[in-house]
Structure 1
Protein backbone atom coordinates (compact mmCIF):
# COMPACT_ATOMS: atom_id res chain seq x y z
CA UNK A 1 0.00 0.00 0.00
CA UNK A 2 1.49 3.37 -0.96
CA UNK A 3 2.01 6.07 1.72
CA UNK A 4 -0.90 8.27 0.60
CA UNK A 5 -3.37 5.37 0.63
CA UNK A 6 -2.03 4.30 4.03
CA UNK A 7 -2.64 7.77 5.41
CA UNK A 8 -6.20 7.89 4.07
CA UNK A 9 -7.04 4.59 5.78
CA UNK A 10 -5.31 5.76 8.94
CA UNK A 11 -7.31 8.94 9.14
CA UNK A 12 -10.48 6.96 8.50
CA UNK A 13 -9.90 4.99 11.68
CA UNK A 14 -6.73 2.92 11.54
CA UNK A 15 -4.65 2.93 14.73
CA UNK A 16 -1.42 3.69 12.86
CA UNK A 17 -2.25 7.33 12.16
CA UNK A 18 -0.41 8.87 15.10
CA UNK A 19 2.70 6.76 14.57
CA UNK A 20 2.69 7.34 10.80
CA UNK A 21 2.29 11.12 10.89
CA UNK A 22 4.68 11.55 13.80
CA UNK A 23 7.54 9.34 12.61
CA UNK A 24 7.58 8.70 8.84
CA UNK A 25 9.85 11.18 7.01
CA UNK A 26 7.82 13.55 4.85
CA UNK A 27 4.50 12.32 6.20
CA UNK A 28 3.51 15.70 7.64
CA UNK A 29 3.74 17.37 4.24
CA UNK A 30 1.98 14.35 2.72
CA UNK A 31 -0.76 14.73 5.31
CA UNK A 32 -1.30 18.44 4.68
CA UNK A 33 -4.42 17.68 2.69
CA UNK A 34 -5.91 15.74 5.59
CA UNK A 35 -4.44 17.27 8.77
CA UNK A 36 -5.90 20.64 9.79
CA UNK A 37 -2.63 22.25 10.87
CA UNK A 38 -0.49 21.82 13.95
CA UNK A 39 -2.52 24.00 16.33
CA UNK A 40 -6.02 23.96 17.73
CA UNK A 41 -6.57 27.43 16.27
CA UNK A 42 -6.03 26.09 12.75
CA UNK A 43 -8.25 23.10 13.46
CA UNK A 44 -11.11 25.27 14.75
CA UNK A 45 -10.90 27.41 11.61
CA UNK A 46 -11.32 24.22 9.55
CA UNK A 47 -14.35 22.98 11.47
CA UNK A 48 -15.93 26.44 11.31
CA UNK A 49 -15.67 26.30 7.52
CA UNK A 50 -17.14 22.80 7.49
CA UNK A 51 -20.01 23.91 9.76
CA UNK A 52 -20.77 26.72 7.31
CA UNK A 53 -21.08 24.02 4.63
CA UNK A 54 -23.53 21.99 6.73
CA UNK A 55 -21.01 19.40 7.89
CA UNK A 56 -20.32 18.23 11.44
CA UNK A 57 -16.80 17.46 12.65
CA UNK A 58 -14.70 15.45 15.07
CA UNK A 59 -11.46 17.13 16.21
CA UNK A 60 -8.74 14.61 17.05
CA UNK A 61 -5.21 15.44 18.21
CA UNK A 62 -2.56 13.22 16.61
CA UNK A 63 0.35 13.31 19.02
CA UNK A 64 1.25 10.60 21.53
CA UNK A 65 2.80 12.29 24.59
CA UNK A 66 5.84 10.65 26.13
CA UNK A 67 5.87 12.32 29.55
CA UNK A 68 3.65 14.15 32.02
CA UNK A 69 4.53 17.61 30.71
CA UNK A 70 3.64 16.81 27.11
CA UNK A 71 0.44 15.05 28.24
CA UNK A 72 -0.56 18.20 30.11
CA UNK A 73 0.11 20.31 27.02
CA UNK A 74 -2.11 17.96 25.02
CA UNK A 75 -4.93 18.33 27.56
CA UNK A 76 -4.59 22.10 27.56
CA UNK A 77 -4.81 22.09 23.75
CA UNK A 78 -8.04 20.09 23.94
CA UNK A 79 -9.46 22.51 26.53
CA UNK A 80 -8.59 25.51 24.34
CA UNK A 81 -10.22 23.83 21.35
CA UNK A 82 -13.39 23.16 23.31
CA UNK A 83 -13.54 26.78 24.52
CA UNK A 84 -13.03 28.03 20.98
CA UNK A 85 -15.72 25.75 19.54
CA UNK A 86 -18.13 27.01 22.19
CA UNK A 87 -17.17 30.65 21.55
CA UNK A 88 -17.78 30.19 17.81
CA UNK A 89 -21.26 28.83 18.49
CA UNK A 90 -20.65 25.50 16.74
CA UNK A 91 -20.79 23.15 19.75
CA UNK A 92 -23.84 21.35 18.36
CA UNK A 93 -21.95 20.08 15.33
CA UNK A 94 -18.35 19.73 16.56
CA UNK A 95 -17.15 17.06 18.99
CA UNK A 96 -13.67 16.02 20.07
CA UNK A 97 -12.18 12.57 19.76
CA UNK A 98 -9.64 11.51 22.37
CA UNK A 99 -7.57 8.34 22.56
CA UNK A 100 -6.16 7.13 25.85
CA UNK A 101 -2.65 7.32 24.39
CA UNK A 102 -3.20 10.94 23.31
CA UNK A 103 -3.39 12.14 26.93
CA UNK A 104 -0.72 10.00 28.58
CA UNK A 105 -1.96 6.44 28.31
CA UNK A 106 1.28 5.30 26.66
CA UNK A 107 3.15 5.69 29.96
CA UNK A 108 0.61 6.27 32.80
CA UNK A 109 -2.94 4.96 32.49
CA UNK A 110 -4.17 6.55 35.71
CA UNK A 111 -2.92 9.95 34.58
CA UNK A 112 -4.59 9.42 31.21
CA UNK A 113 -7.92 8.54 32.87
CA UNK A 114 -7.73 11.68 34.99
CA UNK A 115 -7.05 13.68 31.83
CA UNK A 116 -9.99 12.11 30.01
CA UNK A 117 -12.17 13.05 32.98
CA UNK A 118 -11.04 16.68 32.67
CA UNK A 119 -11.79 16.77 28.95
CA UNK A 120 -15.22 15.19 29.42
CA UNK A 121 -16.07 17.79 32.08
CA UNK A 122 -14.94 20.63 29.81
CA UNK A 123 -16.95 19.24 26.89
CA UNK A 124 -20.07 19.12 29.05
CA UNK A 125 -19.54 22.74 30.06
CA UNK A 126 -19.09 23.67 26.40
CA UNK A 127 -22.29 21.81 25.41
CA UNK A 128 -20.58 19.39 23.06
CA UNK A 129 -19.67 15.70 22.88
CA UNK A 130 -16.57 13.54 23.33
CA UNK A 131 -15.82 10.23 21.64
CA UNK A 132 -13.29 8.19 23.62
CA UNK A 133 -10.95 5.67 22.01
CA UNK A 134 -10.48 3.43 25.05
CA UNK A 135 -11.15 -0.16 26.03
CA UNK A 136 -14.70 -1.17 26.90
CA UNK A 137 -13.93 -1.60 30.59
CA UNK A 138 -12.58 1.95 30.77
CA UNK A 139 -15.52 3.14 28.68
CA UNK A 140 -18.01 1.60 31.10
CA UNK A 141 -16.29 3.28 34.03
CA UNK A 142 -16.27 6.70 32.37
CA UNK A 143 -19.88 6.39 31.26
CA UNK A 144 -20.99 6.15 34.88
CA UNK A 145 -20.35 9.89 35.06
CA UNK A 146 -20.38 10.80 31.37
CA UNK A 147 -23.13 8.61 29.83
CA UNK A 148 -23.14 10.60 26.59
CA UNK A 149 -19.47 9.85 25.85
CA UNK A 150 -19.07 8.04 22.56
CA UNK A 151 -17.26 4.70 22.20
CA UNK A 152 -15.04 3.46 19.37
CA UNK A 153 -15.21 -0.01 17.81
CA UNK A 154 -12.83 -1.47 15.22
CA UNK A 155 -14.25 -4.08 12.88
CA UNK A 156 -10.86 -5.82 12.70
CA UNK A 157 -10.81 -6.52 16.46
CA UNK A 158 -11.73 -10.01 17.75
CA UNK A 159 -15.19 -10.16 19.28
CA UNK A 160 -16.27 -6.87 17.76
CA UNK A 161 -19.80 -8.07 16.98
CA UNK A 162 -20.49 -8.94 20.61
CA UNK A 163 -19.08 -5.55 21.59
CA UNK A 164 -21.36 -3.83 19.07
CA UNK A 165 -24.39 -5.64 20.46
CA UNK A 166 -23.47 -4.63 24.01
CA UNK A 167 -23.13 -0.97 23.00
CA UNK A 168 -26.23 -0.75 20.77
CA UNK A 169 -28.43 0.58 23.57
CA UNK A 170 -30.46 3.74 24.02
CA UNK A 171 -28.32 6.85 24.48
CA UNK A 172 -25.12 5.11 23.38
CA UNK A 173 -23.04 6.82 20.70
CA UNK A 174 -20.74 4.38 18.89
CA UNK A 175 -18.19 5.14 16.19
CA UNK A 176 -17.49 2.10 14.02
CA UNK A 177 -14.19 2.07 12.13
CA UNK A 178 -12.63 -0.59 9.94
CA UNK A 179 -9.42 -0.73 11.96
CA UNK A 180 -6.70 -2.70 10.18
CA UNK A 181 -7.85 -2.75 6.56
CA UNK A 182 -8.64 -6.23 5.20
CA UNK A 183 -11.41 -8.14 3.47
CA UNK A 184 -12.34 -9.83 6.74
CA UNK A 185 -12.54 -6.45 8.47
CA UNK A 186 -14.89 -5.20 5.75
CA UNK A 187 -17.17 -8.21 6.26
CA UNK A 188 -17.16 -7.70 10.02
CA UNK A 189 -17.85 -4.01 9.46
CA UNK A 190 -21.03 -4.82 7.54
CA UNK A 191 -22.17 -7.25 10.22
CA UNK A 192 -21.63 -4.55 12.85
CA UNK A 193 -23.52 -2.02 10.72
CA UNK A 194 -26.55 -4.28 10.92
CA UNK A 195 -26.15 -4.86 14.66
CA UNK A 196 -25.84 -1.16 15.43
CA UNK A 197 -28.71 -0.13 13.17
CA UNK A 198 -30.93 -2.81 14.68
CA UNK A 199 -30.21 -1.50 18.17
CA UNK A 200 -31.32 1.64 19.98
CA UNK A 201 -28.04 3.55 20.01
CA UNK A 202 -26.68 6.29 17.76
CA UNK A 203 -24.07 4.79 15.39
CA UNK A 204 -21.41 6.83 13.63
CA UNK A 205 -20.06 4.96 10.61
CA UNK A 206 -16.47 5.97 9.90
CA UNK A 207 -15.30 4.91 6.46
CA UNK A 208 -13.99 6.36 3.22
CA UNK A 209 -14.95 3.25 1.24
CA UNK A 210 -17.71 4.07 -1.26
CA UNK A 211 -18.97 0.46 -1.23
CA UNK A 212 -19.44 0.59 2.51
CA UNK A 213 -21.11 4.01 2.32
CA UNK A 214 -23.66 2.58 -0.10
CA UNK A 215 -24.24 -0.48 2.09
CA UNK A 216 -24.75 1.69 5.18
CA UNK A 217 -27.35 3.83 3.39
CA UNK A 218 -29.21 0.73 2.17
CA UNK A 219 -29.13 -1.00 5.56
CA UNK A 220 -30.28 2.16 7.36
CA UNK A 221 -33.31 2.24 5.08
CA UNK A 222 -33.96 -1.47 5.62
CA UNK A 223 -33.81 -1.07 9.41
CA UNK A 224 -36.21 1.87 9.28
CA UNK A 225 -33.66 4.37 10.58
CA UNK A 226 -34.50 8.00 9.90
CA UNK A 227 -31.87 10.46 8.78
CA UNK A 228 -30.22 11.96 11.85
CA UNK A 229 -30.50 8.72 13.82
CA UNK A 230 -27.07 7.69 12.54
CA UNK A 231 -24.09 9.47 11.00
CA UNK A 232 -21.51 9.04 8.29
CA UNK A 233 -17.94 9.99 9.19
CA UNK A 234 -15.37 10.61 6.48
CA UNK A 235 -11.77 11.86 6.71
CA UNK A 236 -10.97 15.51 6.16
CA UNK A 237 -9.99 16.06 2.53
CA UNK A 238 -11.36 12.71 1.29
CA UNK A 239 -14.44 12.55 -0.98
CA UNK A 240 -15.29 16.16 -0.14
CA UNK A 241 -17.88 16.40 -2.92
CA UNK A 242 -19.53 13.22 -1.64
CA UNK A 243 -19.59 14.62 1.90
CA UNK A 244 -21.47 17.68 0.68
CA UNK A 245 -23.83 15.62 -1.49
CA UNK A 246 -24.76 13.37 1.44
CA UNK A 247 -25.37 16.39 3.66
CA UNK A 248 -27.50 18.06 1.01
CA UNK A 249 -29.56 14.85 0.80
CA UNK A 250 -30.34 15.24 4.50
CA UNK A 251 -27.77 12.86 5.95
CA UNK A 252 -25.70 13.78 9.01
CA UNK A 253 -22.09 13.85 7.87
CA UNK A 254 -19.24 14.20 10.34
CA UNK A 255 -15.74 14.99 9.07
CA UNK A 256 -12.80 13.56 11.01
CA UNK A 257 -10.39 16.49 11.42
CA UNK A 258 -7.00 15.51 12.87
CA UNK A 259 -4.57 18.20 14.00
CA UNK A 260 -1.37 18.56 15.97
CA UNK A 261 2.40 18.79 15.93
CA UNK A 262 5.22 17.45 18.02
CA UNK A 263 4.71 18.18 21.72
Structure 2
Protein backbone atom coordinates (compact mmCIF):
# COMPACT_ATOMS: atom_id res chain seq x y z
CA UNK A 1 0.00 0.00 0.00
CA UNK A 2 2.76 2.46 0.97
CA UNK A 3 4.62 1.66 -2.27
CA UNK A 4 1.52 2.54 -4.29
CA UNK A 5 1.12 5.78 -2.37
CA UNK A 6 4.75 6.76 -3.01
CA UNK A 7 4.49 5.99 -6.72
CA UNK A 8 1.26 7.99 -6.95
CA UNK A 9 3.02 10.88 -5.20
CA UNK A 10 5.85 10.68 -7.74
CA UNK A 11 3.36 11.75 -10.43
CA UNK A 12 1.84 14.62 -8.45
CA UNK A 13 3.06 18.08 -9.42
CA UNK A 14 1.49 19.51 -6.24
CA UNK A 15 3.44 17.18 -3.96
CA UNK A 16 6.55 17.78 -6.05
CA UNK A 17 6.31 21.51 -5.40
CA UNK A 18 5.84 20.93 -1.67
CA UNK A 19 8.79 18.54 -1.46
CA UNK A 20 11.03 20.81 -3.54
CA UNK A 21 10.27 23.73 -1.24
CA UNK A 22 10.99 21.84 1.99
CA UNK A 23 14.38 22.74 3.55
CA UNK A 24 15.23 19.07 4.18
CA UNK A 25 14.89 18.37 0.44
CA UNK A 26 18.10 20.27 -0.25
CA UNK A 27 19.98 17.88 2.04
CA UNK A 28 18.35 14.86 0.38
CA UNK A 29 19.23 16.09 -3.10
CA UNK A 30 22.85 16.81 -2.17
CA UNK A 31 23.17 13.36 -0.64
CA UNK A 32 21.62 11.30 -3.41
CA UNK A 33 21.96 13.44 -6.56
CA UNK A 34 25.31 14.58 -7.95
CA UNK A 35 24.20 18.14 -8.67
CA UNK A 36 22.01 19.79 -11.27
CA UNK A 37 24.66 20.69 -13.88
CA UNK A 38 27.38 18.90 -15.80
CA UNK A 39 30.07 20.75 -13.85
CA UNK A 40 28.57 19.63 -10.54
CA UNK A 41 28.30 16.06 -11.82
CA UNK A 42 31.97 16.14 -12.84
CA UNK A 43 32.96 17.26 -9.36
CA UNK A 44 31.03 14.38 -7.80
CA UNK A 45 32.46 11.94 -10.37
CA UNK A 46 36.03 13.00 -9.61
CA UNK A 47 35.45 12.54 -5.89
CA UNK A 48 34.00 9.08 -6.44
CA UNK A 49 36.71 7.80 -8.78
CA UNK A 50 39.27 9.00 -6.27
CA UNK A 51 37.93 6.42 -3.81
CA UNK A 52 38.52 3.49 -6.16
CA UNK A 53 35.04 3.05 -7.61
CA UNK A 54 33.89 3.51 -11.20
CA UNK A 55 30.76 5.36 -12.21
CA UNK A 56 27.63 5.32 -14.31
CA UNK A 57 26.18 8.79 -14.90
CA UNK A 58 22.49 9.41 -15.58
CA UNK A 59 20.98 12.71 -16.70
CA UNK A 60 17.64 12.80 -14.90
CA UNK A 61 14.50 13.38 -16.92
CA UNK A 62 12.12 11.14 -18.84
CA UNK A 63 8.90 13.03 -19.56
CA UNK A 64 9.89 13.91 -23.10
CA UNK A 65 6.89 14.73 -25.28
CA UNK A 66 8.37 16.62 -28.25
CA UNK A 67 11.10 16.08 -30.81
CA UNK A 68 12.80 19.25 -29.59
CA UNK A 69 13.03 17.91 -26.03
CA UNK A 70 14.45 14.62 -27.29
CA UNK A 71 17.12 16.44 -29.29
CA UNK A 72 18.00 18.49 -26.21
CA UNK A 73 18.52 15.32 -24.17
CA UNK A 74 20.82 13.94 -26.87
CA UNK A 75 22.77 17.21 -26.86
CA UNK A 76 23.07 17.05 -23.07
CA UNK A 77 24.61 13.57 -23.21
CA UNK A 78 27.02 14.56 -25.96
CA UNK A 79 28.09 17.59 -23.90
CA UNK A 80 28.45 15.36 -20.82
CA UNK A 81 30.70 12.89 -22.64
CA UNK A 82 32.82 15.70 -24.04
CA UNK A 83 33.18 17.21 -20.56
CA UNK A 84 34.09 13.82 -19.07
CA UNK A 85 36.76 13.39 -21.73
CA UNK A 86 38.26 16.85 -21.15
CA UNK A 87 38.33 16.14 -17.41
CA UNK A 88 40.08 12.80 -17.91
CA UNK A 89 37.10 10.89 -16.49
CA UNK A 90 35.57 9.30 -19.60
CA UNK A 91 37.59 6.08 -19.89
CA UNK A 92 35.73 3.28 -18.12
CA UNK A 93 32.74 5.48 -17.32
CA UNK A 94 29.25 4.36 -18.29
CA UNK A 95 26.38 6.69 -19.14
CA UNK A 96 22.89 5.47 -18.37
CA UNK A 97 20.22 6.52 -20.87
CA UNK A 98 16.44 6.32 -20.68
CA UNK A 99 15.04 5.85 -24.18
CA UNK A 100 11.82 7.57 -23.15
CA UNK A 101 13.88 10.73 -22.65
CA UNK A 102 14.96 10.41 -26.30
CA UNK A 103 11.39 10.17 -27.59
CA UNK A 104 10.86 6.39 -27.57
CA UNK A 105 7.15 6.64 -26.82
CA UNK A 106 6.26 8.81 -29.82
CA UNK A 107 9.10 8.30 -32.35
CA UNK A 108 11.04 5.07 -31.86
CA UNK A 109 13.25 5.45 -34.99
CA UNK A 110 14.31 8.94 -33.90
CA UNK A 111 15.01 7.72 -30.36
CA UNK A 112 17.16 4.95 -31.82
CA UNK A 113 19.10 7.51 -33.84
CA UNK A 114 19.68 9.67 -30.78
CA UNK A 115 20.85 6.64 -28.79
CA UNK A 116 23.19 5.63 -31.62
CA UNK A 117 24.80 9.08 -31.57
CA UNK A 118 25.34 8.83 -27.81
CA UNK A 119 26.84 5.33 -28.17
CA UNK A 120 29.24 6.58 -30.85
CA UNK A 121 30.30 9.54 -28.69
CA UNK A 122 30.87 7.27 -25.69
CA UNK A 123 32.94 4.81 -27.72
CA UNK A 124 35.09 7.66 -29.05
CA UNK A 125 36.17 8.64 -25.53
CA UNK A 126 36.50 5.14 -24.05
CA UNK A 127 33.15 5.02 -22.30
CA UNK A 128 30.07 2.83 -22.57
CA UNK A 129 26.29 3.27 -22.66
CA UNK A 130 23.63 1.31 -20.79
CA UNK A 131 19.96 1.56 -21.78
CA UNK A 132 17.83 1.97 -18.68
CA UNK A 133 14.69 -0.13 -18.41
CA UNK A 134 11.38 1.49 -17.51
CA UNK A 135 7.85 0.12 -17.07
CA UNK A 136 6.94 -3.19 -18.67
CA UNK A 137 5.15 -1.62 -21.65
CA UNK A 138 8.51 -0.47 -23.03
CA UNK A 139 10.50 -3.67 -22.44
CA UNK A 140 10.14 -5.19 -25.92
CA UNK A 141 10.86 -1.87 -27.61
CA UNK A 142 13.94 -1.28 -25.45
CA UNK A 143 15.35 -4.74 -26.14
CA UNK A 144 14.69 -4.32 -29.87
CA UNK A 145 16.57 -1.01 -29.87
CA UNK A 146 19.35 -2.65 -27.86
CA UNK A 147 19.77 -5.29 -30.55
CA UNK A 148 19.91 -2.61 -33.23
CA UNK A 149 22.53 -0.58 -31.36
CA UNK A 150 24.68 -3.60 -30.61
CA UNK A 151 25.22 -4.18 -34.33
CA UNK A 152 27.63 -1.22 -34.31
CA UNK A 153 28.22 -0.82 -30.56
CA UNK A 154 28.33 -4.32 -29.03
CA UNK A 155 29.23 -3.02 -25.57
CA UNK A 156 25.86 -1.30 -25.16
CA UNK A 157 24.43 -2.50 -21.86
CA UNK A 158 20.94 -3.69 -20.99
CA UNK A 159 18.97 -3.45 -17.75
CA UNK A 160 16.71 -6.29 -16.63
CA UNK A 161 14.29 -6.05 -13.71
CA UNK A 162 13.92 -9.10 -11.47
CA UNK A 163 10.34 -8.29 -10.50
CA UNK A 164 9.09 -8.96 -14.03
CA UNK A 165 8.04 -12.56 -14.62
CA UNK A 166 9.66 -12.55 -18.06
CA UNK A 167 13.12 -11.61 -16.84
CA UNK A 168 14.54 -15.11 -16.42
CA UNK A 169 13.89 -15.75 -20.11
CA UNK A 170 15.41 -12.38 -21.02
CA UNK A 171 18.50 -13.23 -18.96
CA UNK A 172 18.96 -16.43 -20.93
CA UNK A 173 18.69 -14.50 -24.19
CA UNK A 174 21.22 -11.89 -23.10
CA UNK A 175 23.77 -14.01 -21.20
CA UNK A 176 26.05 -14.18 -24.23
CA UNK A 177 29.68 -13.28 -24.84
CA UNK A 178 30.29 -9.54 -24.63
CA UNK A 179 26.79 -8.79 -23.34
CA UNK A 180 26.64 -6.34 -20.43
CA UNK A 181 23.51 -6.82 -18.31
CA UNK A 182 22.56 -4.79 -15.24
CA UNK A 183 20.23 -6.80 -13.01
CA UNK A 184 18.10 -4.81 -10.56
CA UNK A 185 14.89 -5.47 -8.65
CA UNK A 186 12.70 -2.88 -10.42
CA UNK A 187 10.99 0.32 -9.34
CA UNK A 188 7.72 0.80 -11.24
CA UNK A 189 4.14 -0.06 -10.28
CA UNK A 190 3.33 -3.16 -12.33
CA UNK A 191 0.27 -5.46 -12.41
CA UNK A 192 0.44 -8.92 -10.91
CA UNK A 193 -0.02 -10.44 -14.36
CA UNK A 194 3.48 -9.32 -15.38
CA UNK A 195 5.34 -8.77 -12.10
CA UNK A 196 5.92 -10.45 -8.76
CA UNK A 197 4.25 -8.50 -5.98
CA UNK A 198 5.93 -9.71 -2.79
CA UNK A 199 9.47 -8.79 -1.76
CA UNK A 200 10.44 -12.42 -1.17
CA UNK A 201 9.32 -13.44 -4.67
CA UNK A 202 11.30 -10.58 -6.20
CA UNK A 203 14.38 -11.61 -4.21
CA UNK A 204 14.01 -15.23 -5.33
CA UNK A 205 13.72 -14.09 -8.93
CA UNK A 206 16.83 -11.92 -8.51
CA UNK A 207 18.82 -14.96 -7.35
CA UNK A 208 17.54 -17.15 -10.19
CA UNK A 209 18.43 -14.45 -12.71
CA UNK A 210 21.81 -13.95 -11.06
CA UNK A 211 22.58 -17.66 -11.50
CA UNK A 212 21.58 -17.53 -15.17
CA UNK A 213 23.85 -14.54 -15.82
CA UNK A 214 26.78 -16.04 -13.94
CA UNK A 215 26.44 -19.33 -15.81
CA UNK A 216 26.47 -17.55 -19.17
CA UNK A 217 29.26 -15.88 -21.12
CA UNK A 218 28.20 -12.29 -20.58
CA UNK A 219 29.21 -9.62 -18.08
CA UNK A 220 26.74 -9.38 -15.14
CA UNK A 221 26.27 -6.04 -13.38
CA UNK A 222 24.48 -6.62 -10.09
CA UNK A 223 22.59 -3.56 -8.89
CA UNK A 224 21.56 -4.13 -5.28
CA UNK A 225 22.15 -2.74 -1.80
CA UNK A 226 20.66 -5.80 -0.10
CA UNK A 227 23.36 -7.37 2.15
CA UNK A 228 21.88 -10.84 1.71
CA UNK A 229 21.83 -10.61 -2.09
CA UNK A 230 25.38 -9.24 -2.12
CA UNK A 231 26.55 -12.18 -0.01
CA UNK A 232 24.75 -14.60 -2.34
CA UNK A 233 26.38 -12.93 -5.35
CA UNK A 234 29.83 -13.27 -3.80
CA UNK A 235 29.15 -16.95 -3.15
CA UNK A 236 27.77 -17.55 -6.65
CA UNK A 237 30.80 -15.83 -8.18
CA UNK A 238 33.06 -18.32 -6.42
CA UNK A 239 30.79 -21.21 -7.45
CA UNK A 240 30.91 -20.20 -11.12
CA UNK A 241 34.65 -19.36 -10.98
CA UNK A 242 34.02 -15.71 -11.82
CA UNK A 243 37.10 -13.55 -11.29
CA UNK A 244 36.40 -10.09 -9.78
CA UNK A 245 36.96 -8.44 -13.16
CA UNK A 246 34.34 -10.67 -14.82
CA UNK A 247 31.33 -8.99 -13.19
CA UNK A 248 30.56 -5.94 -11.10
CA UNK A 249 28.44 -4.62 -8.29
CA UNK A 250 26.43 -1.42 -8.69
CA UNK A 251 24.93 0.87 -6.06
CA UNK A 252 23.30 4.27 -5.99
CA UNK A 253 25.18 7.44 -5.15
CA UNK A 254 24.86 8.19 -1.45
CA UNK A 255 23.60 4.73 -0.46
CA UNK A 256 25.77 2.42 1.68
CA UNK A 257 29.09 4.15 0.92
CA UNK A 258 30.90 2.01 3.52
CA UNK A 259 29.79 -1.15 1.71
CA UNK A 260 30.83 0.35 -1.61
CA UNK A 261 34.30 0.96 -0.15
CA UNK A 262 34.45 -2.60 1.22
CA UNK A 263 33.62 -4.19 -2.11
CA UNK A 264 36.09 -1.98 -3.99
CA UNK A 265 38.73 -2.70 -1.36
CA UNK A 266 38.27 -6.44 -1.81
CA UNK A 267 39.04 -6.14 -5.51
CA UNK A 268 35.53 -6.14 -6.94
CA UNK A 269 34.52 -3.62 -9.57
CA UNK A 270 32.16 -1.30 -7.71
CA UNK A 271 30.20 1.04 -9.97
CA UNK A 272 28.27 3.92 -8.45
CA UNK A 273 25.14 5.15 -10.25
CA UNK A 274 25.49 8.94 -10.25
CA UNK A 275 22.37 10.90 -11.27
CA UNK A 276 22.36 14.62 -11.94
CA UNK A 277 19.94 17.20 -13.24
CA UNK A 278 17.02 19.31 -12.12
CA UNK A 279 14.38 16.57 -12.54
CA UNK A 280 15.39 14.75 -9.36
CA UNK A 281 11.92 14.37 -7.81
CA UNK A 282 10.68 11.33 -9.76
CA UNK A 283 14.04 9.59 -9.36
CA UNK A 284 14.05 10.03 -5.60
CA UNK A 285 10.44 8.87 -5.22
CA UNK A 286 11.11 5.68 -7.20
CA UNK A 287 14.04 4.94 -4.92
CA UNK A 288 11.66 5.19 -1.98
CA UNK A 289 9.10 3.01 -3.76
CA UNK A 290 11.59 0.21 -4.46
CA UNK A 291 11.35 -0.58 -0.76
CA UNK A 292 9.04 1.52 1.40
CA UNK A 293 11.49 0.85 4.25
CA UNK A 294 13.80 3.18 2.34
CA UNK A 295 11.78 6.09 3.72
CA UNK A 296 13.29 5.39 7.14
CA UNK A 297 16.58 4.35 5.57
CA UNK A 298 17.00 7.66 3.77
CA UNK A 299 16.23 9.48 6.97
CA UNK A 300 18.98 7.59 8.78
CA UNK A 301 21.33 8.08 5.85
CA UNK A 302 21.00 11.85 6.15
CA UNK A 303 22.31 11.60 9.70
CA UNK A 304 25.25 9.32 8.90
CA UNK A 305 27.74 8.93 6.06
CA UNK A 306 28.08 5.19 6.82
TM range (shorter): 0.7 to 0.9
Which 5+ residue runs of structure 2 have no aligned equivalent? 134-141, 188-197, 281-306
**What is aligned with 1:137?**
144
| SS of residue matched to 2:163 | coil
Is the 1:38–1:260 Cα contact (8 Å) retained in structure 2? yes
Q: Residue 111 of structure 1: CA displacement?
A: 2.0
Q: Distance in 2 between matches of 1:21 and 1:220?
A: 42
Q: Distance in 1 between matches of 2:165 and 2:159?
A: 14
Residues 109-120 of structure 1 aligned to structure 2 (within 5 Å): 109-120=108-119
| SS of residue matched to 1:255 | strand
**Structure 1 residue ranges, 4+ long, deviating more than 6 angstroms after superposition:** 20-23
**What is aligned with 1:91?**
90
Q: Distance in 1 between matches of 2:31 and 2:248?
A: 23
Residues 149-228 of structure 1 aligned to structure 2 (within 5 Å): 149-180=156-187, 182-228=199-245
Q: Residue 231 of structure 1: CA displacement?
A: 0.4
Residues 1-263 of structure 1 aligned to structure 2 (within 5 Å): 24=16, 25-26=18-19, 29=26, 30-64=28-62, 65-133=64-132, 135-180=142-187, 182-262=199-279
Is the 1:59–1:258 Cα contact (8 Å) retained in structure 2? yes
Q: Distance in 2 between matches of 1:184 and 1:247?
A: 29
1:129-167: CA deviation from partner (whole Å, max 9, x where unpaired): 000125222211211111110111001112111110111
* Distance verdict in 2 for CA 1:103–1:239, change over 3 Å: same
1:70-106: CA deviation from partner (whole Å, max 9, x where unpaired): 2222111111111111122222331100011122224
Q: Distance in 2 between matches of 1:131 and 1:21?
A: 28
Is the 2:92–2:126 Cα contact (8 Å) retained in structure 1? no
Is the 1:62–1:261 Cα contact (8 Å) retained in structure 2? yes
Which 5+ residue runs of structure 1 have no aligned equivalent? 7-15
Q: Distance in 2 between matches of 1:54 and 1:262?
A: 28
Aligned residues: 250
Question: Normalised by the size of structure 2, how large is the TM-score?
Answer: 0.76
Q: Residue 117 of structure 1: CA displacement?
A: 1.0
| Alignment RMSD | 2.2
| SS of residue matched to 2:153 | coil
Name the structure with the higher helix share.
Answer: 2
Per mean C-alpha deviation after superposition, the further-off stretch among 149-158 and 103-112 is 103-112
Is the 1:68–1:104 Cα contact (8 Å) retained in structure 2? yes
Is the 1:40–1:78 Cα contact (8 Å) retained in structure 2? no
Q: Residue 20 of structure 1: CA displacement?
A: 6.2
Is the 2:161–2:183 Cα contact (8 Å) retained in structure 1? yes
* Distance verdict in 2 for CA 1:21–1:165, change over 3 Å: farther
1:232-262: CA deviation from partner (whole Å, max 9, x where unpaired): 0000000001101110111100001111115
